[in-house]
Amino acid sequence: MSVWDKEYPSGSEYAHYYADYVAHVPKTNIVETLKAQMHEFYTFINAIPGDKAFHSYAEGKWTIKQIIGHLIETERMFSYRAQAFSRRDPNPQPPMDQDNYVKYSNYNSRTISNLANEYLAVRIASIHLFQNMTKEMIGLKGMANGVEFTVRSFPFIIAGHELHHVEMIKEKYL
């Protein structure tokens, strides 16, 4: 039995602006959800036609490549926060300016395959991090961007964030 069986964060365990993301995540073992998502998203992004990878549905909106990069770096950030809090790091974690992260990246100069492989590496690392946590670790708390989070909330935010962007890509880009 996994510590993640029947674990689901309440709304008080993360910033309110992540509520929609978390609400769309199935109430199942989150590590298994992350594994399933990994295979689905990897296949999905590798099937995006090359001419669509640079598509932006409106002026100032990110391209598909930039969205993939955003998912990679956001997952990396959330996993780091989960690790820091699970190790009882007392330091508050800073905010992440997602627009500057994308603005100063080189995602549009990379291939979809290259981005897909980095996504896969980051997701595998996240899965290893979360699946090896204890019940005590996932209940620990910390501050990020001035808001208290539990470790338990981060894999659900990661999964919901990805679901949100996949829907956006399907609806507005493809």
pLDDT tens, residue by residue, 53-77 = 998 999 999 999 999 999 999 999 9
Note the pLDDT tens digit of each residue in 150-164. Answer: 999 999 999 999 999
pLDDT the model gives residue 129: 98
pLDDT of residue 37: 98
Beta strands 147-150; 141-144: pairing state? antiparallel
> In the predicted model, what is the mean pLDDT of the chain?
96
pLDDT at 161: 98
Query: Is 71 in contact with 166 (CB distance < 8 Å)?
Result: no
Which among 126, 108, 109, 114 has a CA at the least distance from the CA of 162? 126
Q: CA of 53: how far to CAs of 63, 129, 144, in Å?
A: 7, 30, 32
pLDDT for the residue 55: 87
The whole-angstrom separation of Cα 58 and Cα 64 is 12
Tokens 């990661």, residue located:
158
Residues 93-145: pLDDT tens digits?
Answer: 999 999 999 999 999 999 999 999 999 999 999 999 999 999 999 999 999 99
CB atoms within 10 A of CB 99: 11
| pTM score of the predicted model | 0.96
Q: Is pLDDT of 51 > 90?
A: no
Which domains does the chain show, CATH number per domain?
A: 11-173 (1.20.120.450)
Position 50 confidence tier, pLDDT thresholds 50, 70, 90: confident
Quote the pLDDT of residue 70. Answer: 98
Distance separating alpha carbons of residues 141 and 125, to the nearest angstrom: 21
pLDDT of residue 106: 96
